[in-house]
Structure 1
Amino acid sequence: MTSIKKWPERSWGVLQLLLVVCVCEAEEPVCHRRGDPENPQLSEDGDIILGGIFSFHSSWKDREETYTNKPLPLECTSLNFREFQFAQAMLFTIEEINNSTDLLPGISLGYKMYDTCGSPAKSVTVALALTNGNEDVSAQSKVPCIRPAQVQAIIGETSSSICMSIANVIGPFHIPLISHFATCACLSDKTKNPSFLRTIPSDYYQSRALAQLVKHFGWTWVGAIRSNNDYGNNGMATFTEAAQQLGICLEYSVSFFRTDPPNKMQKIIEIIKHSTSKVIVAFLPFPDMDELISQLSQHKLTGYQWVGSEGWIIDSQIAEMDKHHILDGAIGLAIPKAHVSGMREFIMDVKPLIASGKETFTEFWETLFSCKFNQSNSSAENQRECTGHEDLSELQHSFTDMSLMPIFNNVYKGVYAVAHALHNILGCNETCNYKVQQDPFTILQQLRKTNFKTKEGDEVYFNENGDPPAKYEIINWQPRKKGTVDFVTVGFYDASLPAAKQLSLQNTSLIWAQNTKQVPVSVCSEKCSPGTRKVLQKGKPVCCYDCIRCAEGEMSNTTDSISCVKCPPEFWSNDIRDACVKKESEFLSYEEIMGALLTAASLFGTCMTAVVALIFFRHRKTPIVRANNSELSFLLLFSLTLCFLCSLTFIGRPSEWSCMLRHTAFGITFVLCISCVLGKTMVVLMAFRASLPGSNVMKWFGPTQQRLSVLVFTLIQVVICILWLTISPPFPFNNFQVIKDKIILECALGSTLGFWAVLGYIGVLATFCFLLAFLARKLPDNFNEAKFITFSMLIFCAVWITFIPAYVSSPGKFSVAVEIFAILASSFGLLICIFIPKCYIILLRPEKNTKKNMMVKGLVKTK
């Protein structure tokens, strides 16, 4: 329905004709009515009159106004039997109060009930009629302008929009308006609607409860249909806000009103057909849902999961109209079930309708039984004659259906609230004080403070906004075999509880769309599994996204994660990226093939060196051993043994001691080795110089000087290593950067300067030795000692020059392997080039291992 702000101008004209105008005649003001009087459809006199406003008709005939003649009264159509039930509930309550000796003793309540036809303009007219009175005023009669209101309170209306229209009009008069079914949260605003109260919870809570219900079943992609009135628009606005907070997206949100042209309904049907969401939230009152179902039935739009508001979810008439089972499995919120003893029997007994409204009863009865009375003005033909004694008990009709008993109970509580307020104002005990002036404002104040229990045990009170406590049942439509529907309670919602406990679902098996027991799925995008993250799709709602796998080293262990978490340095993501696992530690170990091969090579070199030493020792008195400075040779073999063995310190898990030992041992043993080679080179040069006439150089480079030179050169390296270990020694280090998914256990250098000083010193000695050997390569020598030294140093320098770039570029344990290879290669180069030719002579050519052969070209014995 449209709100009062959208009335057409002709409606204002009708309203103006009905306003009471004061004129002055003689000295006293009198009031005359303009326009046609409004007569109640149902009425009965009493000491105190209560007003009732109901939509006995749900629509009206359109007509074009000429604005030249007085507008005709609104012609109502489409009898609404639900509203007759509400009226009967009010009559039952009034009769029960009048028969009570405890509440308002000696006071009789009367009533005047009007029909609004579902029109806001008509509702304002009848509200003014209830407020001002409705006496026919002749030209001669004089009615005082100042008199009390005709009614003390008004019960109704069903529609939120109509209640807003009425509340705006009667608000300044402080006449209480108590609605049994108007749920719009906008009516809780006391600055705009100071005299409005209700016995049904506000949609502020219902909309949030619906959002929680949708979220509970994992539906994040839904469609929404609402009534284009205050009830639908405000309720859906609150639902949309709550849904967004819960991560629910609306694919579409459309509105309509039952009187809209057919093309608008067709557009809504097309939207539903082309949508991808399988869940539809319908925030509609019964008449609008009735129209929507008729349209959906024509197109047989089944397979959708409907989520309903209390406006239609327990309406059996909607279920009867759903011939194509469109709403099977629907779920929604309803006012908790209630029972009022005697009310069902009273509603089925239509005598009160006959007594209080003859014309209204006639139309009601003829429509109910599809007949007509003889005196009726009904234009229908070929209808049987009504007797007035037709049996209601055998009739299957919406009027005989009591599924809306919770709403009837709301009417019951509203009337009782007024009665309790009057009882307190009139000071009723055994009798009531008739002298107390009944003022609507006083009644309104007393109503706000009312707190009582009905005979059924229901507690009735209003909060500061005029609303009752918000409690709902969760209803599921479960079809029977006979084609009927059971409204099964499957849970509850209580807004007074903590947020986590407000929604409670029972273990009852639910039936879903198309009579399945499988919970429907309605999402724009499937859930992102652990190990992935959500990336929003451009230009689409937040519920539409792509699932992107987490990058290496990141993980997500929750469903629909919006981001991936980076693993700690010691951890790495597993293959599916849903957990961080401890990184595998990598170092050069003895168990792996590369480590085993290098170990074998090291031990082989050690054994080979030992064999050479043994050969030299067994033949230590032979000319070739004595001619090659046996002391330096044995010292060189000892240092080569240490070189081969020091490579083993590079294999295995790094520790503080192994890190300090490996580099220092390597540096010292290689300097010892190069010092011995340098000593042998110097011996060759000095021996040639000594063989020249008049040379006495050998006395300056005898055995003592040779030992001293080796000691000095080695001590220098020892000092460098001690300084390195003292200032910033190498230490074990977990390297996370070289290989991302592994921890490289290595030895950090500590002081880089110390490391390069050790290597640099070795390089300087090796270069110096190579230059001396190169200069002595053509000196006369039967066994080419200088050439062998030159070649060995050439290999040594080549190995360590290529070592630097290979070491820098090798990742992880391979850099250690490169360093070990350089140590072994240079050690084998020295061993093979210097000692193997001599072993060949000793073992295979002993005829050349003679003193005579040594002296052929003047090789000087040095020891």
Structure 2
Amino acid sequence: MQCLLCISLFVRFAFSAPVLGRPVCNIQEQFELNGLYKKGDIILGGIFEISFEVIMTDLSFKFKPQQWKCERLELSVFQWAQTMIFAIEEINRNENILPNVTLGYRIYDNCVKLPVALRVAAALISGNTEVAGGSDCEGTPPVIAIIGDPVSTHSIAISRMLSLFQMPMVSYSASCSCLSNKQEFPTFFRTIPSDAFQVKAMVEIIKHYGWTWVGAIASDDDYGQNAIKIFQEDVKAFGCIAFSETIHKVSEKDDVLQIVKVIKNSSAKVIVSFSSEVELKALMDEIVRQNITGRQWIASEGWSTAGALVINKNYASFGGTIGIAFRRGKIQGLQDFLLQIHLDFDPKNNLVVQFWETIFQCKFEENMSNLSLNVKLCSGHENIKSTNTAYSDVSDLRNAYNVYKAVYAVAHALDNMMRCVDKSGPFANNVCADIQNVQPWQLLHYLKNIDFINSLGERVAFDENGDAVAVYDIVNWQLNDNGTLIAKNVGIFSKLGTAGQMVTLAENEIFWNFESKKVPESVCSSNCQPGTRKATRKGQPICCFDCIPCADGEISSEINSPECVQCAPEFWSNQEKTQCILKDIEFLSYEDAMGITLTTVALSGAFLSTGVLTIFIHFRNSPVVKANNSELSFLLLVSLTMCFLCALCFIGKPTDLTCMVMHVAFGISFVLCIACILVKTIVVIVAFRATLPGNNMMKWFGTTQQRGTVFLFTFIQSIICTIWLITAPPFPKKNTQYQNSKIIYECNIGSLVGFSCLLGYIGMLAAACFLLAFLARNLPDTFNEAKFITFSMLVFCAVWLTFIPAYISSPGKYTVAVEIFAILASSFGLLFAIFIPKCYIILLKPEKNTKKALLGRGLPKK
């Protein structure tokens, strides 16, 4: 805060004037800064983070603060400063741009510290000499524009100060999206895209590989915090942030260890980092020390091409890192220019001396202290061409190329202003700019509208936010044979792609630093395959979920389906639960084994009944047939044949006709059958009573009465069936209650009352028949058929009593099978119990089929 206060007071007094008299622009304070300088008609300012260490003095209100000392010059960044000088010299030699105007420069080192960066900015806009701009404060300002600052946080602070003077600043590295706000930063421009586009590029890469569980690390500054905020919002659309950690500017050991612990314990295999090389180095060292591997790093442009990291063998475990990098360019003649640098002991060019001492690892005698007696002395005649360092390496020019474009952008704006390209510009009376009195606010107007193609064939222009066209290289850290890394281009991101933002990757050129050498997987939970649904875990992010199989009758056809869809009533889910298929239609058909068996048994019973009828007709005059009421026996055998045949109506696909016919045929045929047996039983009883003296009952129950009784019983059943069919007839129905996976075609009885009356009437006749036969079972054998009728009715009643629970509990087509079985079982019971003994006598014991033998059976034994 003390430094910021000093700077604000300095700027205030530097641009203030006395109340009385002519204004005088006297410098109130002078900073000792590391820099490079050259005179010119118009001066361009430059700010670079050349030194990475600062020796800070004690700050106290007791005495004037001493100057900070910047050390550990970074050769790659010094190359960027030299690129600015190269561009200016190239423009000065070019007669097509700014003819008769010589550009100069004043370049300062911000030492990667905000207070120093503010001091540098104040020195550039006020001048760093005893008197700036003459005693009357008129003429060309100390600098007309500033190239820099590379750090977003610095740029935010400096831009707010420069906007007061309408001085443009063109940054080559500050990428914070917040700087696109023209209301806050009206004079800020940059030759790199905003972080908003960098984040989009990263998100597109993450989406491309299906990574939904991602860790995030960001530096504790505007660059890192703004970027990670946008990143988190974009990732929410398709994934989750496993953890989010902040690297503090002054990293304590405990803070670094805490971040490493989070990385080790997290299941996220992909980690995105928005940071600079300097801030990330301590974390990377600790990760290497603990040998943490198996992580896929996604690097922001702040460290994706950091030479100090890539060439270091210690960081081989970071191989495979995918990074977003500024567009690379090839600047013709730059390397030769870099190698032509020569010593200059002018205090205004003190950075050259520091550079010389750094690249040759020596010290000039005047810079040596008692503590550095063992350091090699610099002669000043060292051959720089014999060195091989990041300074002379022009194989991967990114930030340097952006510096080059920034200088040319300002130069083209100046050229347009000098040529008076736009007479409606910010000039009084449409008078063009005067080289002797060029003002920053005039340049600002033209800088907004530049649009040209540079010598490399790339378009240079600024949008309405002062941002460059969003184009990035995508790099991949790949291992060299010597164990170091190289940042290789493997793709490109372009805002102008066919889909708005587009990532193009050379998949076969990407190095994956995993045992499988394949794309890693980073998900909290694996994708739920079709046939399952996602079920979120309570208290965990939405990316963490369980896959629950769909229930029967439900499907999901998409990956990560949130819900299973219920199939339509006539459809059912397949075994995989991925699609609805038509349910199997089930009914008792003639084709399946059960249908064939029951059909065979039913036909056998009908044939057997017909055979017995044939035998009885053939032997109709025999005593056995005559003695058992041949006419009723014939009618009984016909009704039994009908009972066997009606069972066939229950087999096959139900229709409206078959549903009505099967129940009517069943009801009438069985009533006819039971009615015949009942009349036969009554005849036996009446016949026995007729043998008693004085009893003449047979004349009242002769053949006509017997036929009438059978007809009456059958007619009553016919009335019941007719009423049932008229009021609520049976109909075919698709039943899905027994088995959800099948459609069971069956006959709905329509009216339960009608069906109950039909069965109840049969049961009543059967019970009456059984009771009468049971009472007549002990009559003399001569005329007694009651024993056989009793046994047959016992079988009949037993079958139908057991039928009821079996019918209710049997599912699907087995319900029909149970009903058919009851019909066949009861029919066979009647046929065998009543007629087999007679057939036995007729066919096998003809000697007993005589009137004498038949009458003799009834005589008492002596």
TM-score by length of 2: 0.90
Cα shift readout 1:592-629 (whole Å, capped 9, x = no counterpart): 54434433332332233223222322221123322322
> Relative to structure 1, is the Cα distance of residues 172 and 760 closer, same or farther in structure 2, using a 3 angstrom cutoff?
farther
State the partner residue of 1:3: none
1:31, distance to aligned residue in structure 2 (A): 5.7
1:306 and 1:842 map into 2 onto residues whose CA distance is 103
Instruction: Say which SS state the counterpart of residue 372 (structure 1) adopts.
Output: coil
Runs of at least 5 residues in structure 1 that lack an aligned partner in the other structure: 1-8
State the partner residue of 1:273: 264
State the partner residue of 1:201: 193
**Which amino acid counterpart does residue 546 of structure 2 have in structure 1?**
D
Runs of at least 5 residues in structure 2 that lack an aligned partner in the other structure: 422-430
1:516 and 1:67 map into 2 onto residues whose CA distance is 62
Instruction: Say which SS state the counterpart of residue 413 (structure 2) adopts.
Output: helix
2:751 and 2:511 map into 1 onto residues whose CA distance is 75
2:700 and 2:201 map into 1 onto residues whose CA distance is 107
2:824 counterpart of 1:824: yes
Cα shift readout 1:501-560 (whole Å, capped 9, x = no counterpart): 712222433211158632223333344444444333343333333333333333444444
- Name which of 409, 415, 423 aligns with 1:423: 415
2:807 and 2:854 map into 1 onto residues whose CA distance is 44
1:621 and 1:453 map into 2 onto residues whose CA distance is 127
1:195 and 1:707 map into 2 onto residues whose CA distance is 121
1:436 and 1:719 map into 2 onto residues whose CA distance is 126
1:714 and 1:488 map into 2 onto residues whose CA distance is 100
2:46 counterpart of 1:52: yes
State the partner residue of 2:114: 120
2:202 counterpart of 1:210: yes
**Which amino acid counterpart does residue 345 of structure 1 have in structure 2?**
D
State the partner residue of 2:222: 230
> Relative to structure 1, is the Cα distance of residues 506 and 720 closer, same or farther in structure 2, using a 3 angstrom cutoff?
farther
State the partner residue of 2:424: none
1:466 and 1:792 map into 2 onto residues whose CA distance is 107
> Relative to structure 1, is the Cα distance of residues 384 and 134 closer, same or farther in structure 2, using a 3 angstrom cutoff?
closer
Equivalence map 1:631-642=2 (5 Å): 631-642=631-642
2:249 and 2:21 map into 1 onto residues whose CA distance is 52
Identity of aligned residues (%): 46
State the partner residue of 1:4: none
2:651 and 2:500 map into 1 onto residues whose CA distance is 60
Instruction: Say which SS state the counterpart of residue 815 (structure 1) adopts.
Output: helix
- Name which of 228, 231, 241 aligns with 1:250: 241
Instruction: Say which SS state the counterpart of residue 316 (structure 2) adopts.
Output: coil
Please tell me whether the aligned partners of residues 627 and 783 of structure 2 are also in contact (alpha carbons under 8 angstroms): no
2:220 counterpart of 1:264: no
Please tell me whether the aligned partners of residues 475 and 489 of structure 1 are also in contact (alpha carbons under 8 angstroms): yes
Of 382-391 and 765-774, deviating more is: 765-774
Cα shift readout 1:664-683 (whole Å, capped 9, x = no counterpart): 32222222222322332343
2:383 counterpart of 1:394: no
2:752 and 2:473 map into 1 onto residues whose CA distance is 77
2:283 counterpart of 1:292: yes
1:796 and 1:128 map into 2 onto residues whose CA distance is 117
Instruction: Say which SS state the counterpart of residue 465 (structure 1) adopts.
Output: coil
1:408, distance to aligned residue in structure 2 (A): 1.7
Please tell me whether the aligned partners of residues 211 and 523 of structure 2 are also in contact (alpha carbons under 8 angstroms): yes
- Name which of 148, 153, 157 aligns with 2:149: 157
State the partner residue of 1:15: 7
State the partner residue of 1:630: 630
2:64 counterpart of 1:70: yes
Instruction: Say which SS state the counterpart of residue 552 (structure 2) adopts.
Output: coil
1:571, distance to aligned residue in structure 2 (A): 4.3
Please tell me whether the aligned partners of residues 145 and 440 of structure 2 are also in contact (alpha carbons under 8 angstroms): yes
State the partner residue of 2:402: 410
TM-score by length of 1: 0.90
> Relative to structure 1, is the Cα distance of residues 544 and 668 closer, same or farther in structure 2, using a 3 angstrom cutoff?
same
2:292 and 2:849 map into 1 onto residues whose CA distance is 111
1:583, distance to aligned residue in structure 2 (A): 4.0
> Relative to structure 1, is the Cα distance of residues 331 and 708 closer, same or farther in structure 2, using a 3 angstrom cutoff?
same
State the partner residue of 1:80: 74
CA RMSD, 1 decimal: 3.3
2:201 and 2:798 map into 1 onto residues whose CA distance is 82
2:493 and 2:567 map into 1 onto residues whose CA distance is 42
Equivalence map 1:450-529=2 (5 Å): 450-499=450-499, 502-513=502-513, 517-529=517-529
1:838, distance to aligned residue in structure 2 (A): 2.9
2:827 and 2:657 map into 1 onto residues whose CA distance is 24
State the partner residue of 1:317: 308
> Relative to structure 1, is the Cα distance of residues 128 and 724 closer, same or farther in structure 2, using a 3 angstrom cutoff?
farther
2:213 counterpart of 1:221: yes
Please tell me whether the aligned partners of residues 329 and 515 of structure 1 are also in contact (alpha carbons under 8 angstroms): no
Instruction: Say which SS state the counterpart of residue 288 (structure 2) adopts.
Output: helix
**Which amino acid counterpart does residue 191 of structure 1 have in structure 2?**
Q
2:356 counterpart of 1:362: no
1:657, distance to aligned residue in structure 2 (A): 4.3
1:756 and 1:255 map into 2 onto residues whose CA distance is 82
1:533 and 1:268 map into 2 onto residues whose CA distance is 35
1:27, distance to aligned residue in structure 2 (A): 4.6
Cα shift readout 1:2-44 (whole Å, capped 9, x = no counterpart): xxxxxxx333343345243346464556565544446571222
2:130 and 2:442 map into 1 onto residues whose CA distance is 29
Instruction: Say which SS state the counterpart of residue 245 (structure 1) adopts.
Output: coil
> Relative to structure 1, is the Cα distance of residues 660 and 469 closer, same or farther in structure 2, using a 3 angstrom cutoff?
farther
1:689 and 1:469 map into 2 onto residues whose CA distance is 123
**Which amino acid counterpart does residue 382 of structure 2 have in structure 1?**
E
State the partner residue of 1:836: 836
1:460 and 1:720 map into 2 onto residues whose CA distance is 100
**Which amino acid counterpart does residue 467 of structure 2 have in structure 1?**
D
> Relative to structure 1, is the Cα distance of residues 402 and 297 closer, same or farther in structure 2, using a 3 angstrom cutoff?
farther
1:458, distance to aligned residue in structure 2 (A): 0.7
1:643, distance to aligned residue in structure 2 (A): 1.0
Of 487-496 and 454-463, deviating more is: 487-496
Of 345-354 and 181-190, deviating more is: 345-354
2:32 counterpart of 1:41: no
**Which amino acid counterpart does residue 235 of structure 2 have in structure 1?**
A
> Relative to structure 1, is the Cα distance of residues 343 and 730 closer, same or farther in structure 2, using a 3 angstrom cutoff?
farther
1:640, distance to aligned residue in structure 2 (A): 0.6
2:317 and 2:88 map into 1 onto residues whose CA distance is 40
Give the total of aligned pairs: 848
1:307, distance to aligned residue in structure 2 (A): 1.8
**Which amino acid counterpart does residue 641 of structure 1 have in structure 2?**
T
**Which amino acid counterpart does residue 166 of structure 2 have in structure 1?**
H
1:723 and 1:103 map into 2 onto residues whose CA distance is 111
Instruction: Say which SS state the counterpart of residue 491 (structure 1) adopts.
Output: strand
Of 27-36 and 64-73, deviating more is: 27-36
Instruction: Say which SS state the counterpart of residue 257 (structure 2) adopts.
Output: helix
Please tell me whether the aligned partners of residues 328 and 401 of structure 2 are also in contact (alpha carbons under 8 angstroms): no
1:30 and 1:755 map into 2 onto residues whose CA distance is 120
Instruction: Say which SS state the counterpart of residue 375 (structure 1) adopts.
Output: helix
> Relative to structure 1, is the Cα distance of residues 393 and 524 closer, same or farther in structure 2, using a 3 angstrom cutoff?
farther
Instruction: Say which SS state the counterpart of residue 643 (structure 1) adopts.
Output: helix
Please tell me whether the aligned partners of residues 176 and 227 of structure 2 are also in contact (alpha carbons under 8 angstroms): yes
Instruction: Say which SS state the counterpart of residue 325 (structure 1) adopts.
Output: helix
1:659 and 1:390 map into 2 onto residues whose CA distance is 113
**Which amino acid counterpart does residue 102 of structure 1 have in structure 2?**
N
Of 280-289 and 704-713, deviating more is: 704-713
Cα shift readout 1:731-790 (whole Å, capped 9, x = no counterpart): 443333312333333333344444334333333433444455455555566353334334
Cα shift readout 1:64-91 (whole Å, capped 9, x = no counterpart): 4232212222222332223322211211
Of 411-420 and 551-560, deviating more is: 551-560
Equivalence map 1:609-688=2 (5 Å): 609-688=609-688
Please tell me whether the aligned partners of residues 223 and 252 of structure 1 are also in contact (alpha carbons under 8 angstroms): yes
1:764 and 1:84 map into 2 onto residues whose CA distance is 116
1:330 and 1:49 map into 2 onto residues whose CA distance is 41
Of 792-801 and 524-533, deviating more is: 524-533
Of 575-584 and 163-172, deviating more is: 575-584
Of 638-647 and 555-564, deviating more is: 555-564
1:16 and 1:422 map into 2 onto residues whose CA distance is 29
